[in-house]
Structure 1
Amino acid sequence: MISKDMTISEILRRYPQTLPVFERYGLDCYDCQIADFEQLEHGATVHKADLAALLEELNKSIS
């Protein structure tokens, strides 16, 4: 299960199928150096994405 405390790169390493979800929400952080350190919650805030909806879609994509 994906949580808001996981880093973006950790999510993508474990679950590469989540990439389209990140793209839909405008989180292109996976392509930058900070992805190794940026938690999902922070990335969602910076990109003004709805964290609850993002988490729901990410978790659906891995089930």
Structure 2
Amino acid sequence: MHITVDTIIGDILRRETDAAAFFREAGMHCIECPAARGETIAEACAVHGMDAEQFAAAFNARFATK
């Protein structure tokens, strides 16, 4: 799965079974919250003080083979 900063977290979690672990490793422990599932990567990264482009790139690199 390839994501962008505009990808919705809930969509990622539904399509990529290992994604929750990636989010937790990055420090986003609130992904289980129903509100967080409706956020984009950009919105979640802004709340956590993270660079959304870097997060998306790291996610895509990790899940590139799936």
TM-score (norm 1): 0.81
19-28 vs 2-11, greater mean Cα deviation = 19-28
Task: Give the C-alpha shift of residue 53 in structure 1.
Answer: 1.9
Letter in 2 for 1:50: D
Aligned to 2:6: 5
Q: Does 1:27 align with 2:31?
A: no
Aligned to 1:37: 38
| Superposed CA RMSD | 1.4
Provide structure 1 residue ranges, at least 5 long, that are not aligned to the other structure.
Answer: none
Seq. identity, %: 27
* Counterpart-to-counterpart distance in 1, 2:16 and 2:47: 22
Provide structure 2 residue ranges, at least 5 long, that are not aligned to the other structure.
Answer: none
Q: Is the 1:25–1:49 contact (alpha carbons within 8 Å) kept by the matching residues of 2?
A: no
TM-aligned CA distance change 1:23 to 1:36, over 3 Å: closer
